[in-house]
A and B are shown apart, each in its own frame.
Chain A
Amino acid sequence: MLHIVVCVKQVPDSREIRIDPKTNTLIRQGVPSIINFYDMHGLEEALRIKDELGARVTVVTMGPPPAEKGLKECISLGADEAVLVTDRGFAGADTLATSYVVAKTIQKIADKWGPVDLVFCGKQTLDGDTGQVGPGVACRLDLEQLTYVSKVVKVDEEHRRVTVHRQLEDGIEVVETSMPVLFTALKELNKVRRASLPGMIRAARYKPTIWTTADFPDLEKAKIGLKGSPTIVAKTWIPVAKAVNGTMIEGDSPELIAEQLTAKLWEGDLPERLGWTS
């Protein structure tokens, strides 16, 4: 039976974060925590493969203890097992340190529940917003990597091949590769289901497996958390729109106004740079 791991992350819904106009700082209070929505599309696709071919679906998250809530939500939708890796030592991780811990966890999951055939990550997170953890995990586990997947066309268990669509800026690439493979999920992939009643009952009773650094004897301390993170946030600021001291264009008729405006636009080198002269 296929074994599918889905990487999910609980994130503050950054679309809801506002800026305090007085202090010019981010208001994070009361911002709801959600499972990164791209990850939910990854989970949904894993569950569809499970429905069609039969599979074991394990979800994993690295995060603080409240992330357990998100894992239970995944169980209510139909995931079989959920693993929370949590430790103060993991705090402050950038994408390199995160992919290290997530990859180690997937290895441990494989040891416990059997070899992993497919891994789903989201395209990117709402908070980190890098899309780097997926390729990082694939690299560390030496998996094939197919990012920006908008459709899973075929999972051929027998020949251990998969075919997907990758949505790129300029079109769709149809690509096939071998398992084990890591996908990063787009929202075009599917429509996420709602929890069933039995699912909710199972989730209410379910206790996620919790692992800490103590559960990973060979974990290199220099590669986790803040210390294992090469990138350092040196400065943050809130961009403010700068007012400009502009010119009002007036005229007795729309024709005159239009003439004056275009005359202004045609001053200087703008027409040349915008290709209006050729």
Chain B
Amino acid sequence: MMAEEEIEDAMPDWSAYRGVLIVVEQRAGIAKKVSWQLLGEGKKLAAKLEVPLYALVIGHQVEHLATEAIYYGADKAFLCDSPELKDYRTRPYSRICLKLIDVVKPEIVLFGATATGRDLAGAIGTHLPTGLTADTTELDVEPHPSRLLLASRPAFSEKMMATILCKQYRPQMATARAGVFQSLPRNTGLKAEIVRIESTMKEEEIAAQVLDFIQGHEKVNLEEAEIIVAGGRGLGGPDAFALLKELADALGGVVGASRVAVDAGWIKHEHQVGQTGNTVRPKLYFAIGISGAVQHTVGMASSEVVVAINKDANAPIFQFAHYGIVGDLFKIVPQITEEVKRRRKLGLSALPPIPSVPLETTAQIS
């Protein structure tokens, strides 16, 4: 035990390691959104540490993505562009990352927690070696001199959060979940250096061959959705989900559900929000005919704006709602859909504020 404490206390000298590196993910020249989200988050970390934010773009005919990375906040973009890098393959991609990490010596490296990001980060972290925190949803840094990355992630099926540190190795690495962090607005006025780096493997040296890619049907991606219209037992059956779908379409969002609605077979499990479903953080969440059980609210309470519609004024969901409506969903939801369509068509801006009653007062009245 003594030995461990000694190790804990003595922080090695990491002054050679400076900067935050984001590994950009792309397919066929189109970047994954998570890459820009990580640049947005990375910018904050880099500012706190007073270091540059780097982006690494790997692929074939992807120079435009290095430019895009700069528009999204990178202070310098590294570009490795070569025919054998057209498709992601672990060995050539990981070697390029390792080479760059060796030369640039960033103190933090972040990847998207996607299949590709996890595949790549797992290989690199072991090779270096260093600590790697998976699937983070909150990132922060301690200021100089510790400069530690505080990488927080859900654990035990999202029931718990844990903050994970890596004191004894550099760089500190993490994969980060898509849809959690905010990208900066794309600013085409930004200019920065693009540094080309050489590919490290020849095609003949690479065993893996990508034979085909079968584009999948768009699965509902609740975790990345900005607008979710969710329904529960109050819908009374599968048909009412059509009403929710219409509202979701009008808003440009996707449909979610409570477990009761999923268990009843009204909608597929991939739509479920909550403890045993998806944890979501949209900008706008509608909870319709959902009572607001704790297993549901842990999965949606980080939403920016919550609208609850329930005929029971005492439903717990109202405690988590920014806007609450007591009433029959079958009457109200179609009207909201119409109103949304009308406003979007007219491009109406804000109307004069409307007097409203605070939540608690109403709860007492009823």
Query: Contact residues of A with B, CB < 8 Å?
Result: 14-15, 17, 19, 21, 26, 94-96, 99, 126-127, 129-132, 134-136, 138-140, 144-148, 163, 166-178, 226-227, 229-250, 254-255, 257-268, 270, 273-277
Contacts and interface: CB of A to CB of B under 8 A. Distances in A.
Interface string B139-150: 000000000001
Contacts of A99: 126
Interface in B8-23: none
A127 B159 CA distance: 11
Contacts of A139: 122-123, 126-127
Contact of A249 (B114, B160, B320, B356): B356
Interface of B: 3-4, 7, 27, 87, 90-91, 114-116, 118-119, 121-123, 125-127, 129-135, 150, 155-157, 159-169, 207-216, 219, 221, 226-227, 251-252, 276, 283-284, 294, 297-298, 301, 305-307, 318-327, 331-332, 334-336, 338-340, 343-344, 347-351, 353-354, 356-362
A14 B156 CA distance: 5
Contacts of B301: 241-242
Contacts of B351: 263, 266
B283 A96 contact: no
Given A145-B123, A241-B298, A247-B324, A277 B347 contact: yes
Contact of A175 (B27, B161, B209): B209
A132 B115 CA distance: 11
Contacts of B215: 170-171
Given A174-B211, A236-B161, A248-B362, A254 B356 contact: no
B323 A247 contact: yes
Nearest to B170: A230
Given A234-B150, A261-B323, A244 B7 contact: no
Given A173-B212, A174-B214, A246-B306, 8 more contacts: A15-B157, A135-B119, A169-B216, A231-B133, A244-B322, A248-B356, A255-B339, A266-B351
Given A96-B129, A241-B297, A274-B227, A232 B347 contact: no
Contacts of B87: 173
Contacts of B339: 255, 258-259, 261-262
A262 B343 contact: yes
Given A236-B160, A262-B339, A230 B134 contact: no
B208 A169 contact: no
A266 B161 CA distance: 34
A15 B307 CA distance: 29
B176 to A, nearest CB: 13
B155 A246 contact: no
A232 B336 CA distance: 49
A178 B208 CA distance: 7
A177 B320 contact: no
Nearest to A136: B126
Contacts of B116: 168
Contact of B252 (A241, A243, A258, A276): A276
Considering the complex of A and B, which 10 residue pairs feature the smallest CB-CB distances, nearest first?
A135-B122, A230-B131, A241-B301, A258-B335, A130-B134, A171-B216, A231-B131, A174-B212, A139-B126, A241-B297
